[in-house]
Structure formats: structure tokens, C-alpha cells
Structure 1
Amino acid sequence: MSFNSLGLSEPLLRAISKKGHTKPSTIQKKAIPFILERRDVLASAQTGTGKTAGFTLPMLQILSEGEILRKRPVRALVLTPTRELAAQVLEDVRSYSTYLDIRSNVIFGGVSAAPQIKSLRKGVDVLVATPGRLLDLHQQKALSLANIEILILDEADRMLDMGFLRDIKKILALMPEKRQNLLFSATFSKDIKKLANTFFTQPVLVEATPENTTAEKVDQKIYKTNKSKKTALITKLISEGNWEQVLVFTRTKHGANRLSQKLEKSGITSAAIHGNKSQGARTKALDGFKKGKLRVLVATDIAARGLDIPLLPHVINYELPNVPEDYVHRIGRTGRAGASGQAISLVSVDENEHVRGIEKLLGESLEKEILDGFEPTENLQEVLERKAENKARQRGGRKNRSSKPQGGVGRRRN
């Protein structure tokens, strides 16, 4: 099947050809015809399946066929969970609308709102946004959602995970009831289905892959070791394997910083991205990683969500996530668009329960290996006792700090 058979207009086909695409992906073949029929669509599609084009192309066609209003009110809204994903969606929207009279822009937090407000005043047909900044600017009367024709919730599962449900409900109340609704999610949890039931009208369900499955092209392996040996092990794997582009996941922001610093000391160029980093620092790190200036990007789950890194060969779980579905999201960063990839997890004894949860979700047993010199020697009781001691020390440190006299009575911390 070719893009020509999906009912897309000539300007869109020219833009697709310019990007070098020849055949639509599974989610594009399934979703685009229904969206062009103005149907509400619930789509299950993991990252790397071409889902962004799956909603961008038909959205642009619908808008281009409608009346272009003189003041250019926002007619289509794409909500995303993270700044990085918002920026990447805008890039795709602009690329595919090269030969159309469509204006698009993006708004997200972490940067000054003034330039965003200025761009909105010029008129925008397609607005890509994160929920918080969208509500902020609406409250400032910098934008209106009264003319929305199409609403797209991208990576809806992650938006709920990040606590955006209340914001989403507020945003829904600001739009006309008569509109087309599209929801794209890697998984369909009960919360996702409950949300969809509140505002969808007879939605069509389309799936690119079976629910909660991982990419078939990803080679998954577990290395069992001590927690204290993980940094040395990850350094060995990257150095001896001569890996040039590795995305590493940690559970915490501080853990990401520490690991990145240790890798740098070992001669492996690295940067960390997480919620405490400024948008400028995150953008710079991601750009350096994509261009090959950095071999390793260490990230937390939230920061890594939505990262578009073509042909990423290696993903390493320095620590396993608490939620099995997050493992699927993580390793979905590799093995994309038909390419092969490798996902490695470094697992200490206290993470064995997480392994069992992941294997249950996947319906398969993951390959496990122990490397010489990195044998696991700790038992679970030792690890749990050490964790308790560390927490006690941290609580003691916070207590001591809080007991110190504070300058400036009533001073607010920003």
C-alpha cells in the first residue's frame, strides 16, 4: 500500500515524498482513513510506529479543506505530556504542511511566555502544547479554544501518569462540544478508557501492535549484578562494545546526575536530562546526543518521554522502573521504524520482583547473564538494611538543616 491510496491530498503527498517516506506504517494505514472521515479515534501505538504522522497528515488535510479565517484562531490542538515531544510534534506539523497555507506553533513551560504570546497574536491554525502552559496562557487571555475543530491527546497514558488529568478536564471544558477527538496511547489502561468515555462519540479503536507488547526487533537481556557494581559494569559495556549512542534510564534525577558525572570521569561523553534541568540545558543535551557529540544520555522516565532519536541502537536500564509498563516505554526508544536495537537491564537482587512483573506483562522470560567480575554477591536482606540506613541518614541530614536559623523571616522560596 502507498500513501496515494489513503486519500491524502497532493500537497501532503509532495511533503511526504520530500521527507523520503514511501509506504505508510501500520498505524498510519489504519488511522488515517478513519480520521479523514471525521471519526473520533482511539489509537494504540507505541513510540516509533509513525503515530505522529498518523494524526498530523489527516488533521492538516481536514484543516486545509475548511475555511481559513482571517484572524487565524486555533482550530486544532495537540496536547503532549512533555516539552520535548511538543517541539518534535511541531517539527512534523511544519514539515508536512510545507505546501499548505497552515500556520502552526508550540507553547510549553520552562521558557519565557512572552515570545509565545507574541506568536499567538499573529494567528495559529495548529497549536501544540503542554497542559500547564496552555492553561496559563488561556487564563492570561492570550489564546482562545472556542474555535477548536480537532483535539489530539498524544501519549495520553503518560499525561495521566504525570498527573495531568485535572488539567485535561479543564481544557476540555474550554472547547466547543462539537469537535473531532483523537487519542493516541501506548497502552489502554482503565483510566484511559474512562477518560475517553467522558468526551468521545462512538470512537473507532485502532491498534498498531497488541496491547502492552514490546518491539519485535529489540534484543532484550538482563545482567545480574550488585548495585554497587552497576556503574563499573555499564562503563565496561559501553567502552568495550564501542557503543556510540546509548540512552540510559535511572529512577531519580540525582541518580542521573551522579551516573553522568561518573561516566564523564571514565572518558565517556555524557549528559543528564531530567525535570530539574532548564529547557535550554535539555535541548542542548539532546542535540549533542543526536549529533554524536555525546555518547550517552542519562534520563529519567519523564524527561525521556517523547524523545525522537532515529535509529537509537542501545537502551540501558541502570535501574528498573517500578511499573512494568514503563519498561515497555523505555525499550520502545530502540528498535524503531524497522531497525534492530538492544535493551539491557542491570538488575540487583532487590529488583528481582520488578523482573517478575515485567516478564508477566510481556508473557515471556527475559534472557539473563552474569559477567565475570560482576557476579551478584549481595542478598536481599543486606540491600534492604542498607537502604533503610541511607534513608535514616537522609532524614537526619534534613532534620539538622531545618534546625538551623533561617535568614529573612517569612521569606518565600521560588
Structure 2
Amino acid sequence: RRTGSFPRARGAGPPLPEPRRAPPPDAEPGPSFAAMGLQPALLAGLEGLSIGRPTAVQRLAIPALRRGRSALCAAETGSGKTLAAAEAAAGPASPRGLVVLPSRELAAQVGAVAAALCRPAGLGVRGLTGGGAAGGLRRQLRAPGTGAAVLLGTPGALREALRRRFLALGRLRWMVLDEADSLMDDSFIEALEEILARTQVVVVGATFPTGLSQTLGKFTDVGRFVTLATQSLHRLPPHVQQKFVRLKGRDKLPELLQLLKERPASGGAVLIFCNSASTVNWLGYILDDHKIKHLRLQGQMSAAARAGIFASFQKGDVSVLVCTDLASRGLDTSSVQLVVNYDFPDTLQDYLHRVGRVGRVGSKVPGAVVSFVTHRWDVDLVRKIETAARKRTDQIPLKFGWNEKAQ
């Protein structure tokens, strides 16, 4: 069974500061974006995106980030964490920024929003993703247009661009690590070492791995970080229906086919999560045989094969996406009304990220999650989730900054 991408910590390491908590969602709406002192050009960008009022995490994070604080920003999925970091950092006073994201799909999505935010201020935004020849990295960085004030990139592409000296970081002022628990692995440590020591750093995520403070402490003073967290962190979304179906492995496919065929045409988009690329491919062949139109997305696909798949799903060209956890983090899935865990996730963190694909800000209906439970080792995780829901605390038993694994 997989154990996650983050290495187990060797020592206790410096503790992170106690988190400042945002008010609950039903509290006073708080100040507007304008009242928080954002630049007029940035306010114009927000208006162009039809973003009117800040969310709880944005009200908490923007003032701290505008003061130049490095921050660990933890909030539930779909709450606007990445946008909060971009809102506070983008502007003429901080013309050099880097956003690091775990996948090319997320980089494309965040890049589109960042470009809309920065355009009124005349700031250029550029994306850097790998999967091709080194010359492709150079072309991305030297594409015609305004110089890039904000660069968005995946770890592999950034690491290769730095190694080949296509990219210099001497003018970097701030950096955002988005979906941090899927970024902080040994393959990216060398690049982090070069960046972290001299920049304002914003670490963003809905869950955080064991040893995050130890890794950050190798390159920067963790004591300078302000820790920001919302009241809904690690909580089950109370408005999302969650159903667990206990069945034998051989019965999963008939159950899924019946579920898909019985769904009305107006039932919204469907995400089907599998734990491996091979299962995504196999299940896709079966759906082809049953004339069920769908798309597939998994990390072993080539960059060319992955290009545009998630964008096509977002646009509604196809309403069913079969995927691995590559699609569980950060991506905007406001059209999704049903998540099916064809394979039950390995960790509580993965469950929270998958559940977070429905009932997001901008969704028209709360949505539902159906999980197939087939293995005895899944039952312990299911019991913890059901207990949290039954007690009506909706609090998943995860400590802040602690990565609990299935035994």
C-alpha cells in the first residue's frame, strides 16, 4: 500500500505556531476586498471574475500576507486558499512571484485566474510545465508578450529549468506552494533550498504532511511563519450526502454501470476515482464497451495525451471523468454532482480531497459521494468517517499538520 509522497520525519523538528482560526462561515461577513487595502487594479481583476466578497480564509490570510508574513494557510477544499495568496501578493509592489503546483492541469487552471487578476495591473503571467524536450521549457519562458511578473510551474519543470539555467530566481520576492503535501518530496528539495531562504513563502493546503515543519526548517526560520486555519479544516462538508456501499470486488463494476445508467441526463458531471492508472485504463475500456462516453486522466499519460482533457471536462464536453487522485486536488469541479470512489482511498486525507470535489463554492447543488468498500483494511477509515458524521461534529480525526495513514 502506498504511503504518500512525503518522507517520514527523522526528528521532532521545530513546531509550527498555533494556527489563527478564521470565524465560522455563518459569522459576520467581514471587510470587503477594498477595505482590506487591495490595489484598484486587483479589485478590477476580481470584479472581472465576478468575485464579490472574500471567503473566510481570504479574510484571514490577505491582511497577514500583505504585511509580508510567510504563512502556512490551511483550509477546506474549494475555499479560495490559492486565490487568497494571489490576491495578497499580486501587485506593483511585488512584481516577481512563483506559484508551484503539483500538476499541469492545476497550473493551467490557476494560471487563467492569475492572468485575469493581473491583467488590469499590466502584469504578465506565464506557465511552466514539463513533459517534453528541454527546448520546450525555454520556449515557454521566452514566449512573446509582456515579461512574466508571476510564474506558475510544476516541480519537475522548475527543477529542470533551474538546472539548465533557463530560469533565474535573483529577483524573486514571494512564492506560493499550492497543495503542499503533494509537493514536498525529496525530488523537489534542492529547488526549494534555493528558493525558500530569501522569499516570502505561502504554503497552502487542505491537509498537511508529517514533517512539514522539519523540511521547511532546513531552509528557513519556521518561527517567522504565521499559521492560518479555518474553522472547517478537516471537516466533512455537512451539505454533501455521503454513502458507503459494502460489496465484493467482483460486484463493483455492475454497481457502477447501474449507477451511471440510472443517472438522469440533467444529473451533472461525475468523477470516478481509482487508486491506480491501470484501473483507470481498464475501467475506461469497459465503459467504452457499454457506450458510456467518458474521459480518462491519470499521471502515467504523456503530456500530449493529458493536454486539454480536464479543460474539456470542465466545459461539459463530456460529463464523466475516470481518474486517479491527480484530479482530487485543487481543480475547479463546480459542475460535478457525483463523486464515485470506485476504489476506496488509502488515507483520510485522500478522502477529504475527493469529497471536496462536490459542494464547492459556485456549485448549484450540494452533490453526493458514493464509496465502494471492498477490503477489510478500508473498514477502519470508513468507521472514523461515519463516527464523525454520526456525532454531527463532521470533524475527521486528523491533527493539524499530521498525516495519518491506514494501518
Do they superpose with TM above 0.5? yes
Instruction: Tell me if 1:117 matches 2:135.
Output: no
Aligned residue number for residue 7 of structure 1:
37
The CA distance in 2 between the partners of 1:210 and 1:157, in whole Å, is: 18
Q: Given that residues 115 and 125 in structure 2 are in contact (C-alpha distance below 8 angstroms), is that contact kept between their aligned partners in structure 1? A: yes
Partner of 1:381: none
Look up the match of 1:343.
369
Map of 1:227 onto structure 2: 249
| C-alpha contact 2:159 2:188 (8 A) present in aligned 1 | no
2:69 aligned residue: 39
Q: CA RMSD in A?
A: 2.2
CA distance 1:338–1:176, change in 2 (3 Å): closer
Does 2:54 align with 1:28?
A: no
- Name stretches of at least 5 consecutive residues in structure 1 with no aligned partner: 69-74, 368-414
1:180 shift after superposition: 0.7
Distance in 2, matches of 1:225 and 1:96, equals: 47
Cα displacement (A) at 1:53 = 1.1
1:333-390 CA distances to partner (integer Å, 9 max, x unpaired)?
A: 1111164121110122x2x4323224426752579xxxxxxxxxxxxxxxxxxxxxxx
Distance 2:386 2:86 in 1: 30
Match of 1:192 among 206, 209, 212: 212
1:218 matched to 2:243? no
1:304 shift after superposition: 4.1
Match of 2:298 among 274, 277, 294: 274
Deviation at 1:321, TM superposition (A): 1.5
Letter in 1 for 2:56: T
Structure 2 CA distance for partners of 1:38 and 1:323, relative to 1, 3 Å: same
Q: Are residue 79 (structure 1) and residue 119 (structure 2) matched?
A: no
When the two structures are aligned, how many residues end up with a matched partner? 352
Quick one: which of 324, 329, 340 aligns to 1:300?
324
Letter in 1 for 2:226: V
Query: Which residue of the partner structure matches residue 175 of structure 2?
Result: 151
Q: Using a 3 Å threshold, how does the CA distance of structure 1 residues 139 and 197 change in structure 2: closer, same or farther?
A: closer
Question: Residue 291 of structure 1 is aligned with which of 304, 315, 318?
Answer: 315
Deviation of 1:176 (Å):
7.1
- TM-score when normalising by structure 2: 0.81
**1:249 and 1:299 in contact (8 A); partners too:** yes
Quote the offset at 1:120 in angstroms: 2.2
- Give the greater-gyration-radius structure (CA): 1
CA distance 1:168–1:358, change in 2 (3 Å):
farther
Per the TM alignment, residue 274 of structure 1 is displaced from its structure 2 partner at its CA by 0.6
* Structure 2 residue identity aligned to 1:144: A
CA distance in 2, matches of 1:181, 1:159: 14
Greater RCO, 1 or 2 (C-alpha within 8 Å, sep 6+): 2
Contact 1:261–1:270 (8 Å) recurs in 2: no
Whether 1:166 and 2:186 are equivalent positions in the alignment is yes
Contact kept? 2:273, 2:325, Cα under 8 Å: yes
**2:405 corresponds to:** none
TM score, norm. by length of structure 1:
0.79
Question: How many Å separate the matches in 1 of 2:308 and 2:141?
Answer: 25
- Tell me what 2:354 maps to: 330
The letter for the 2-side match of 1:180 is: Q
> By percentage of residues, which structure has more helix?
1
**Contact map agreement 1:157 1:188 (CA 8 A) in 2:** yes
